[in-house]
């Protein structure tokens, strides 16, 4: 394998990529960089996102660009605002030692004025979405008549998003002698016709198998009754405490529902779908990118352009109807040499479908069993022990408290102490998964399929199998949460203060940011509603209602703990 130096890049760029931690060129870079450096003819590259294609086109362009000339020399077209910003950031990284190089992102959905000002100041590279580029061309604020390179990134996505006419217009505005570099994960007919109409005798390169999912991706599937999908998802998440993944759902509603349930159950999750405003979407994507969220529940459309490289898991909450969609989803993990897992939660009638996808992907999918309570508890326990082993200890800060703590715990020996520390976290998993049912569908006969269909119907009515261990508690929604300074202790205090509620058992309490859930003995449901509603809490009127049934809270980051009155 050749190094970045050996494939013809100069010291400034080599140093910049080395700063980014790139050790050697990826396959697409090995192929594309020397070609673009040495040739003027066009290039069609079949490559998935995650193969390193941004550097494959940017580095040779940067090597050849005239940095003393401020006019636009390279135009990069890409389908979404997110990708546009990502490419810009990447190019800024690659050109960090080229002080005079300016790259300007232009995209829709935001004020055009600033972008016009940026263009006026000048820059050698413009990265933009087709609609905004057309707008700027019409206003004569962007001149692409002298560009030397036109890059079409994720060309198939641009076509499937309806940018065909825009692309035609833009292509016809560029000079004949430009070099066109087209990158696409798939090669539908329309791409071939763009290549035919606008490109001159392009060289074609491809990395990996055309249209194939990455080899760093392990494909797994679980077979459960349709009604157990959500519980299976929860168990998969519990089995992977360090998960950083996207759960793909079919509809906006399903996306919302799954994300809401995960959040209510204490997981570090959020939703990304088309009903959110651009600002809300940006916020969610931003949180996910910096890993403040572990699980993003998304529709395919909304997740487009979210370019995150180190996902550990992609979870297909349902198998998509279109196999290409599966391939696209799974291609979001296992990027840049890292390993990833693509999971499909299927029900027994979908086994045939799994086989279809397997054939298309060209890899065997592994049937995995939904973990049972014991396995999950074991996993969580060892995860906890690992955390204890690896936690950073701030000796200076903790020092002043230690002597008091040592004294307080003096009566415990080492074994007791370890048992207690571990139990603080672990008990909730133990109690939650005690008696948890097996969710796997094992037999695939006609009866089973009939049950599945019944399961589908039950699923629509909303129910819960894992609830068997919940005892006789009713769950309530409360209009106050963390933001109102509510804590579990305070909530218990409020309940205790009501004479009608003196003797009731309190179950799990989940304090969320804006609201909370808690359980009390079902017998006292009415008393509770009657006694608490309208009570004043630090200036706000309390509003309580019976919550829709949900599994209880066991997720990471969850606050649920079983609290009994006698503890206080
Ligand atoms: P891309 O396909 O351009 O979206 O790149 C996928 C990811 O791979 C990005 O996070 C890049 O920073 C990273 N990457 C690109 N080229 C290399 C390389 N030669 N070595 C290591 N990482 C790379």
Structural domain total, the chain: 4
Mean pLDDT of the 534-560 span:
64
Ligand 1 centroid to residue 258 C-alpha, Å = 32
Q: What is the CATH number of the domain that holds 272?
A: 3.40.50.300
Instruction: Verify that 333 and 240 share a domain, yes or no.
Output: yes
How confident is the model at residue 467, as a pLDDT? 36
pLDDT tens digits along 20-45: 999 999 999 999 999 999 999 999 99
Q: Which of 338, 372, 406 is the last residue of a domain?
A: 372
Q: Rounded distance, CA 525 to CA 459, Å?
A: 26
Residue 439 lies in a domain: no
Whole-number pLDDT of residue 110 = 85
Question: Coil, strand, or helix at residue 105?
Answer: strand
Q: What angle do CA 45, 49, 54 make, to 5 degrees?
A: 70
Cα of 31 to ligand 1 centre, how many Å?
A: 15
Identify whether 3 is part of a domain: no
Tell me whether residue 46 is in a domain. yes
Claim to verify: residue 162 and residue 22 sit in the same structural domain: yes
Residue 153 lies in a domain: yes
> Does this model's pTM top 0.85?
no
Which of the residue ranges 54-63, 179-188, 334-343 has the most confident prediction, judged by mean pLDDT? 54-63
305 within ligand 1 shell (Cβ under 6 A): no
Q: Are residues 187 and 237 in the same domain?
A: no
Q: Is 414 inside a domain boundary?
A: yes
CB 336 near ligand 1, within 6 Å? yes
Within the chain, how many helices (H) and strands (E) appear? 21, 20
In this structure, are 122 and 253 located in the same domain? no
Q: Is residue 186 part of a domain?
A: yes
331 C-alpha vs ligand 1 centroid, how far in Å? 14
For residues 170-179, give the mean pLDDT.
Answer: 93
pLDDT, position 208: 64
Specify whether 61 is located in the same domain as 176: yes
Q: Which atom of ligand 1 lies nearest, measured to the CA of 47?
A: 2
- Ligand 1 in contact with 29 (CB < 6 A)? yes
Q: Is 53 in the pocket of ligand 1 (CB under 6 A)?
A: yes
Query: 155 with 33, same domain?
Result: yes
- CATH assignment of the domain containing 547: 3.30.70.330
- Backbone torsion region of residue 257, taken as left when φ is above 0, otherwise alpha when ψ lies between -120 and 50, otherwise beta: alpha
For residue 454, what pLDDT is reported?
Answer: 41
> Mind listing the pLDDT tens digit for each residue in 125-136?
999 999 999 999
Longest dimension (CA), the chain: 85
Question: Are residues 391 and 490 located together in one domain of the fold?
Answer: no
pLDDT interval class at 308 (50, 70, 90): confident
Residue 174 Cβ inside 6 Å of ligand 1? The answer reads no
Distance from C-alpha of 8 to C-alpha of 6, rounded to nearest angstrom? 5
Phi, psi of 315 (to 5 degrees): -115, 120
Using DSSP bridges, classify how beta strands 43-46 and 203-206 pair: parallel, antiparallel or unpaired: parallel
> Ligand 1, residues 4, 14, 23, 26: which to mutate, most atoms within 8 A of Cβ?
26
Q: Is 66 exposed, middle or buried, given 0-12, 13-18 or 19+ CB atoms closer than 10 A? A: exposed
d(CA 454, CA 457): 5
Q: Band of the pLDDT at 212, cuts 50, 70, 90? A: very low
Whether 419 and 460 map to the same domain: the answer is: no
Residue 346 lies in a domain: yes
If pLDDT is split at 50, 70 and 90, which confidence band does 470 have? Answer: low
Q: Ligand 1: which of 17, 54, 89, 332 to mutate, most ligand atoms within 8 Å of CB?
A: 54
Q: What is the pLDDT of residue 337?
A: 65
Same domain, 297 and 311: yes
Rounded distance between C-alpha atoms, residue 452 and residue 458, angstroms: 9
Question: In 22-96, which ranges are continuous DSSP H helix?
Answer: 27-38, 53-64, 81-94
In a domain, 437, yes or no: no
Assess whether 102 and 222 both reside in one domain.
no
Strand partners, 180: 150
Among 95-109, 176-190, 373-387, 491-505, which stretch is predicted with the lowest mean pLDDT?
491-505
Residues 367, 229 within the same domain: yes
User: By mean pLDDT, which of 124-128, 292-296, 532-536 is the weakest?
Assistant: 532-536
Q: Specify whether 398 is located in the same domain as 267.
A: no
User: Domain range for residue 379?
Assistant: 374-432
């Amino acid at each position: 394998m050749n190094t970045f130096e050996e494939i013809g890049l100069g010291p400034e760029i080599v140093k910049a990529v080395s700063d980014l931690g790139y050790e050697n060129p990826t396959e697409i870079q090995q192929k594309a960089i020397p070609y673009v450096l040495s040739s003027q003819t066009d290039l069609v590259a079949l490559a998935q996102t995650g193969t390193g294609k941004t550097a494959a086109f940017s580095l040779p362009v940067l090597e050849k660009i005239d940095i003393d000339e401020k006019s636009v020399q390279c135009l990069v077209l890409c389908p979404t605002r997110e990708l546009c910003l990502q490419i810009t950031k990447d190019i800024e990284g690659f050109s960090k030692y080229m002080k005079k190089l300016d790259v300007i992102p232009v995209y829709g959905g935001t004020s055009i004025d600033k972008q016009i000002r940026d263009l006026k100041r000048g820059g050698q590279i413009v990265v933009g979405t087709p609609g905004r580029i057309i707008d700027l061309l019409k206003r004569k604020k962007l001149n692409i008549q002298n560009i030397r390179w036109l890059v079409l990134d994720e060309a198939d996505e641009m076509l499937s998003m309806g940018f065909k006419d825009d692309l035609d217009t833009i292509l016809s505005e560029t000079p004949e002698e430009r070099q066109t570099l087209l990158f696409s994960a798939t090669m539908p007919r329309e791409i071939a016709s763009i290549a035919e109409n606008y490109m001159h005798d392009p060289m074609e390169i491809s990395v990996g198998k055309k249209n194939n999912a990455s080899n760093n991706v392990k494909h797994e599937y679980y077979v459960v009754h349709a009604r157990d999908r959500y519980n299976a998802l929860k168990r998969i998440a519990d089995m992977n405490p360090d998960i950083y993944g996207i759960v793909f759902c079919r509809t906006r509603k399903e996306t919302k529902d799954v994300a809401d349930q995960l959040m209510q159950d204490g997981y570090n999750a959020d939703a990304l779908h088309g009903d959110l405003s651009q600002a809300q979407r940006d916020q969610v994507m931003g949180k996910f990118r910096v890993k403040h969220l572990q699980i993003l529940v998304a529709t395919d459309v909304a997740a487009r352009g979210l370019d995150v490289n180190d996902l550990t898991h992609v979870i297909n909450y349902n198998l998509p109807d279109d196999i290409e969609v599966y391939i696209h989803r799974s291609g979001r993990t296992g990027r840049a040499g890292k390993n990833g897992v693509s999971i499909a939660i299927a029900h027994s009638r979908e086994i045939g479908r799994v086989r279809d996808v397997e054939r298309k992907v060209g890899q065997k999918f592994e049937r995995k069993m939904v973990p049972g309570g014991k396995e999950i508890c074991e996993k969580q326990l060892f995860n906890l022990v690992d955390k204890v082993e690896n936690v950073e200890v701030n000796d200076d800060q903790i020092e002043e408290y230690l002597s008091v703590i040592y004294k307080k715990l003096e009566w415990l020996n080492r074994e007791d102490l370890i048992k207690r520390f571990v139990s603080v976290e672990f008990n909730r998993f133990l109690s939650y998964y005690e008696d948890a049912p097996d969710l796997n569908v094992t037999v695939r006969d006609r009866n089973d399929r009939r049950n599945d269909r019944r399961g589908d119907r039950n699923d629509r009515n909303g129910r819960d199998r894992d609830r068997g261990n919940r005892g006789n508690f009713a769950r309530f929604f409360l209009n106050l949460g963390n933001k109102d300074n509510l804590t579990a202790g305070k909530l218990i205090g409020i309940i205790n203060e009501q004479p009608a509620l003196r003797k009731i058992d309190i179950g799990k309490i989940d304090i969320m940011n804006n609201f909370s859930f808690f359980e009390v003995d079902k017998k006292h449901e009415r008393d509770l509603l009657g006694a608490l509603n309208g009570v004043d809490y630090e200036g706000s009127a309390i509003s309580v209602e019976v919550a829709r049934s949900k599994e209880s809270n066991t997720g990471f980051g969850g606050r649920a703990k079983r609290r009994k009155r006698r503890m206080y």
